[in-house]
Amino acid sequence: MGDKSTKTIATNRKAFFDYFVTESLEAGIELCGTEVKSLRKGNLSFKDSWCEIASGEIFVHSMHISPYEQGNIFNRDPVRKRRLLLHKREILRLFGVVKQGGFTLVPLSVYFKGSLVKVQLGVCKGKRNFDKRQAIAQRSAKREIEQRMKTRE
């Protein structure tokens, strides 16, 4: 197989702030044609999107793909639930992990792999408020160190 180039459409930065990502995997996503055209323009929002396992399938909820401007009657609901494409054994394994407790499935990024749209799915555990404050403190300390290093040069 040839090397397929990847082009990132969007990354869910809030997920990395709100959750500890323990594992990630790649999944396909079932889209209609106008949604793919809209994604090529970068019209995607992850705000509060999450995944659910129902009747042996995985669905992503509240992922907003803006309607395609020239799509007219072919456009779909921007926040409809969309099916993710995984092997049955992967879905069963993820179902076991999520049922274990404290874990949730969150889309981390959406990207093109060749001509296909892929979703990086994360198995995540929620952070507490003190974990978030610690992350903010580390980020600000790192930023301050970088600024002081720049002024010395």
pLDDT reading at 1 higher than 60: no
DSSP H or E stretch at residue 131: helix 129-152
CATH 3.90.1640.30 matches 6-127 = no
| Structure tokens belonging to residue 145 | 């160190």
When pLDDT is averaged across residues 72-90 and rounded to a whole number, the result is 81
Yes or no: say if 120 and 11 are a contact pair by the CB < 8 Å rule: no
State what percent of residues in the chain have pLDDT above 70. 91
pLDDT reading at 101 higher than 90: no
Yes or no: say if 50 and 106 are a contact pair by the CB < 8 Å rule: yes
Q: Say if pTM beats, i.e. exceeds, 0.75.
A: no
